[in-house]
Amino acid sequence: MQRLLLGTVLAIAIGSMTGHAAAQPTLEAGFGGPNDYGAQCLSPNDDGSSRLIDLTPAFPSGLNFFGTRYSNVYVNTNGNLTFGSGLGTYTPEAFPIADQPMIAPYWADVDIRGTACSGVGGDLWSTCMLAPGANNGIYWALEPRRMVVTWDHVGYYGCNDDLQMTFQLILTAADSGCGGAGDFDVEFRYTQCGWNTGEASGGTGGFPTMTGDTCTSDATCDPFPFPGFPSEYRCEGGQCWDGIPGQAGFDAGNRTDYVEIAGSRTNEIHTILCETSNVGETGVWRFQIRSGAIICPGAGDTCPTGMPGVCADGRTRCVADHTECRPLVDSTTETCDGLDNDCDGTVDDGMICPGASECVMGTCVATCFEGACPTGLVCETSTNRCVEDGCIDVVCGPGERCTHGVCGGACAGIVCPFGLSCEAGRCVDLCAGASCDDCNACDPASGSCLPRCAPGTCAPGETCAPDGTCIEDTCAGVTCATATHCVGGACVDDCDGALCPTGQECRRGECAAIGIDAGPPRPDAGAVDSGTVGADAGIDGGGGGFDADVDACFGFACMPSGAARRSCACTVPGAAGREAPPVAGMFLVLGLAFFASRRRR
């Protein structure tokens, strides 16, 4: 079964926990009818539905729900609103299900016949005939840009009224300045949560019943389910339970896209809905639906991933049926930079430096070659090692490294290109993967969704740009090419002023590795031999001014003669007496033959 993809959305985890004593929200009212929740209602019934309700008086463009535009809806007794047809199913099926798009503030076995246990069917009454103050009412009201459906003091099957649920579903058209045609907001409000399972769903007294058997899975509680009927036995907390509690969320009806409030179909769902929230208001749950997709509230919040190394810091992202803390920086191959790049718990491990150099305090350190070092490094005479330019003779404290002359953590001394931020020693786009609705824009400095500006809301000297951000007045109407941005009315390179992490340089607005993995070739020190075995003998190997010995080996110095020299396994074309050893040549020929064979295949 395919579950929701990132950005297609998305189920909501519990956003904030509150205590039992927190005040419950009030329900929207003022719509007329016997209890002021609307002049239309369902007659006393069990498993009934309203007639088809026309949405266009409230939403002229209909509702865009998971990519399909709906102009009609059904209100169902069992705590949900459906678009395709009325729904009488009383035991909630686990999302996602097929062919039944729905919004379900509380899909459970609601029974509104009362203790008299008599009803007149599930059809709507054109004029609601319930008595004022009566329990077991299901009302709805439409007004321009809004629909409100209320389940008021409803009982559970069969004809039980000792425990009650009171909740409300509010649909509101998105603000014209933020949303497109068909975009809307959804709000669930819960003020009374007394039960979660009807008797026909396996419950007793409004709740599931413990069977007394221990379990490791649902299958161990019901090893022989009746074909064609969903099992009512579940495994929860290592115990078998008889009964399927209620479910809350959204379903596209395509067996792929859905949203489920965490805790649905568990013994605690009723208290979760009444006592927690995804927006910090007890008993209130809000969602935004834009272009058919449900925007996950709270996305972009900082969070710990529990992983080591550069993967430790994260932000919340919405995936499948829950929110997850995803690393801001993904693991990569380990490099010498004082960081745990592959997130295995060890810093700078493995063979990560070229040639005979070693990783010391986050830098591949090699001995100076005739007093010279690769570009960007200088020879530290006190140690005869090549160090980063600006870090010569700089001594950092424990756990620190020197970057651009600054001692500190992973981001010390790093200035990222425009629009990027330093996280765990890397320049990254914090807005990559962020899900902001049409009323918010992603702040590149924090990766959080912030309200878009409006005309007149920006600081003096700034104006509100079409993307919802404040820009300089002089940059209004200025269009810059890729990898450039506007400053003072002129387009400047995103790399201006950037100081990338060690081993990287700024190109096209991003920090990218310099040259090949082994680093740039070392410069030739001249035609005078330094007296060191294997050093320059006064012959340029054709490397454009680079030392002949190093040009061919990229840091591995060839020995002048004998077996030690052959161990280098390199050659310098055009230099007399510097042939590749036979073994190396054989492997080279075999490698070329294998490559040619692969190409033919």
Q: What is the pLDDT of residues 21-75, one digit of tens each?
A: 468 899 999 999 999 999 999 999 999 999 999 999 999 999 999 889 999 999 9
> Above 50 in pLDDT, residue 523?
no
Query: pLDDT digits over 215-242, tens only?
Result: 998 889 988 887 777 788 999 999 999 9
> Above 60 in pLDDT, residue 249?
yes
Distances in Å between the alpha carbon of 328 and those of 144, 346, 362, 373, 498?
A: 43, 19, 21, 34, 20
Residue range 131-137: average pLDDT? 93
Longest dimension (CA), the chain: 109
Residue range 443-468: average pLDDT? 81
pLDDT value of position 543: 35
Q: Which has more confidence, 394 or 69?
A: 69
- The mean pLDDT of the chain is 77
> Above 90 in pLDDT, residue 169?
yes
User: Which range (200-209, 299-308, 366-375, 483-492) has the least confidence?
Assistant: 366-375
> Above 60 in pLDDT, residue 406?
yes
Is the four-CA dihedral 555, 557, 563, 564 of positive or negative sign? Answer: negative
Q: Specify the amino acid at residue 468.
A: G
Q: From the CB of residue 424, how many other CB atoms can be counted at a distance below 10 Å? A: 20
> Above 60 in pLDDT, residue 2?
no
pLDDT value of position 209: 94
pLDDT value of position 176: 60
What residues form DSSP beta bridges with 409? Answer: none
Query: Exposed (0-12), middle (13-18) or buried (19+): which is 127, by Cβ within 10 Å?
Result: exposed
Q: Which has more confidence, 344 or 529?
A: 344
Residues 27-31: contacts with CB under 8 Å, at least 24 apart: 27/150, 27/152, 27/166, 27/168, 27/189, 27/191, 28/148, 28/150, 28/168, 28/170, 28/189, 31/139, 31/141, 31/143, 31/148
> Above 50 in pLDDT, residue 524?
no
User: Contact at 8 Å (CB) between 452 and 468?
Assistant: yes
Strands 293-295, 80-82: pairing is unpaired
Q: Which helix (H) or strand (E) holds 271?
A: helix 269-275
pLDDT tier at 245 (50, 70, 90 boundaries)?
Answer: very high
Q: CA nearest 237: which of 264, 214, 206, 270? A: 214
pLDDT value of position 177: 61
Does 44 sit behind a cis peptide bond, omega within 30 degrees of 0 on the bond before it? Answer: no
pLDDT value of position 368: 79
The secondary structure of 67-96, three-state, reads: CEEECEEEEECCCEEECCCCCCCCCCCCCC
Q: CA nearest 211: which of 181, 233, 194? A: 233
Distance (Å, rounded) from C-alpha 333 to C-alpha 6? 25
pLDDT value of position 595: 34
pLDDT tier at 531 (50, 70, 90 boundaries)?
Answer: very low
Most confident of 31-45, 361-375, 376-390: 31-45
User: Which range (258-262, 375-379, 496-500, 517-521) has the least confidence?
Assistant: 517-521
User: Contact at 8 Å (CB) between 415 and 499?
Assistant: yes
> Above 60 in pLDDT, residue 517?
no
> Above 50 in pLDDT, residue 558?
no
> Above 70 in pLDDT, residue 540?
no
pLDDT value of position 322: 55
Residue range 122-135: average pLDDT? 87
User: Contact at 8 Å (CB) between 488 and 474?
Assistant: yes
pLDDT tier at 384 (50, 70, 90 boundaries)?
Answer: confident
Residue range 496-525: average pLDDT? 70
> Above 70 in pLDDT, residue 593?
no
pLDDT tier at 456 (50, 70, 90 boundaries)?
Answer: confident
Distance (Å, rounded) from C-alpha 498 to C-alpha 512? 12
Name residue, tokens 């295949």.
601
Residue range 121-149: average pLDDT? 91
Query: pLDDT digits over 171-198, tens only?
Result: 999 876 666 789 999 999 999 999 999 9
pLDDT tier at 18 (50, 70, 90 boundaries)?
Answer: very low
pLDDT value of position 399: 58
Strands 146-156, 209-214: pairing is unpaired
Q: Which residues contact 507 (CB under 8 A, 6 or more apart)?
A: 495
Residue range 81-104: average pLDDT? 92
The share of the chain scoring above pLDDT 70, in percent, equals: 76
Q: From the CB of residue 571, how many other CB atoms can be counted at a distance below 10 Å? A: 17
Q: Which has more confidence, 92 or 538?
A: 92
Q: Which has more confidence, 558 or 489?
A: 489
Query: pLDDT digits over 310-340, tens only?
Result: 888 887 765 544 567 778 777 888 878 778 8
Does pTM top 0.75 for this prediction?
no
Distances in Å between the alpha carbon of 424 and those of 308, 312, 411?
A: 11, 9, 6
> Above 60 in pLDDT, residue 102?
yes
Structure tokens at 147: 């629909």
Distance (Å, rounded) from C-alpha 371 to C-alpha 9? 59
